[in-house]
Amino acid sequence: MAASARTLTRLAPCVTSNVFTLRTTARSARLPLARQHFQSSSRRGYASAPPTQSRTGLYVSLLGLFAAGGAGTYFYLNNGGFANLKEGSSGETRGVFTPTKEDYQKVYNEIAKLLEEKDEYDDGSYGPVVVRLSWHCSGTYDKATNTGGSNGATMRFAPESDHGANAGLKAARDFLEPVKAKFPWITYSDLWTLAGVTAIQEMQGPTIPWRPGRTDRDISACTPDGRLPDGAKEQSHLRAIFGRMGFDDREIVALSGAHALGRCHTDRSGFDGPWTFSPTVVSNDYFRLLLSEKWNWKKWNGPMQYQDVGSKSLMMLPTDMALVKDPIFKKHVERYAADDQVFFKEFREVITKLFELGVPFTSKEEDRMELKPTSA
């Protein structure tokens, strides 16, 4: 199986006329990284069995134009371009800056660099929680009302940021703030979804097509609580939540494969533990383990969750086990468990769809770009 050959992985606002001040000091050059040393010292990697040792587990809205000698100012425009006004003796306008694929590649590379350098988060990587941010900011879409979704980045505001399903995501939002500061022209909405693409690819996942065009909205666009999946429920809940967004049974199972990444925390969801032995590597292990391991209810004082009988180090939620209890869901679990490339292909398609739900793009689907992983 291709997944078993993987070794160490390499990880991983409100209005449309926002005003940003750009410092004129030159950006510091990216320091070369001792990649071999990084890989050899990282906790991130692929494993098909439990480890032999235990693992420890601004936004600033400027509403006025600030004048400063020699400073450049960017105005976000509805068409996706940015007017760069250079202040000088004549106060002349220097034109409109429209980001290109190369500009978005620079943003991608900056996110990838931070994923590699900052290894203080769970299992040595912010990658999984960044994917969760991009998933949750997109998964609020309601096709009946055409509200929610990644367009708006409304998780910047309470009450949406305080919804129970979003507990812990401040870590991912804060992680991306230096990127936003370095590239002030990108909207939070585009940044968060692009960061999800980056994390998936840098954690050895498939290449995810992506396109810009999302705008940031204000607090009035926040979605109500209850639009994201509740891990304590079963298959009828999954069909209701994902069906509201426009996903079918196959797509529900494919999206659930993101549970190959990360872990639950008792101080957030109440659940505890990782789904797989390699929570910083995108793989089909989530599906394999659902089928190959024996699962019993965990005996503890927390919410009802499953624990693997063999190592007692993995967990599954009731929504996870629903995928093998339901015969229609199970046939897709079996397909993905048998072939990681089938999973990668269908996950690529459905995560692209998720990130674009409800976005009023002016571009076409064929304008999607594939950004190059730093590990390529």
The residues assigned a catalytic role are: 136, 275
The span from the CA of 203 to the CA of 281, in Å, is 5
- Angle CA(47)–CA(262)–CA(282) in degrees, nearest 5? 55
The span from the CA of 189 to the CA of 40, in Å, is 35
The span from the CA of 152 to the CA of 170, in Å, is 17
The span from the CA of 84 to the CA of 333, in Å, is 50
